[in-house]
Amino acid sequence: MNHYANKKSAAESMLDVALLMANASQLKAVLEQGASFDFYAPIIALICISLGLQVAVGVLLIFIVRWNLNDEQKQWRLSMMENLATALVFIIVVVNVFITAFGVHGPNRGG
């Protein structure tokens, strides 16, 4: 069971890294557009929130992977950490939906 949990956490970490890279790219695009972009401040704030939460989830997943799930004394703490990670991932998804809704475009918009 511990092996399965470690693989699951590792997979979540890889997805977190992919989303982290996408948010960094979005941040770069917004910064290149500058303050003339309609939703400049809200997008910057949302991307920074998303990046911060992603780093927190990444650190949390590192702790989850390192601890032994078979140790009964740590199972409650690991369960709480898994629940926290899941809640944070949900918040990250919601924040990224808003980032997408505000529409980050490259610096050369057609039109």
**Distance (Å, rounded) from C-alpha 100 to C-alpha 21?**
15
The rounded radius of gyration (Å) of the Cα atoms in the chain is 17
Model confidence over 57-76: pLDDT tens digits?
888 888 887 776 677 777 88
107 in a domain, yes or no? no
110 in a domain, yes or no? no
Angle subtended at Cα 57 by Cα 31 and Cα 79, rounded to the nearest 5 degrees? 165
**Distance (Å, rounded) from C-alpha 102 to C-alpha 98?**
6
pLDDT at 44: 92
Q: Who wins on pLDDT, 20 or 84?
A: 84
pLDDT at 88: 93
Q: The domain containing residue 59 runs over which residues? A: 2-102
Residues in Cβ contact with 105 at an 8 Å cutoff, skipping those fewer than 6 apart: 29, 33
pLDDT-based confidence at residue 21 (cuts at 50, 70, 90)? confident
pLDDT at 111: 41
* Listed residue (65, 61, 62) closest to 2, CA to CA: 65
Split into its structural domains, the chain has a count of 1
111 in a domain, yes or no? no
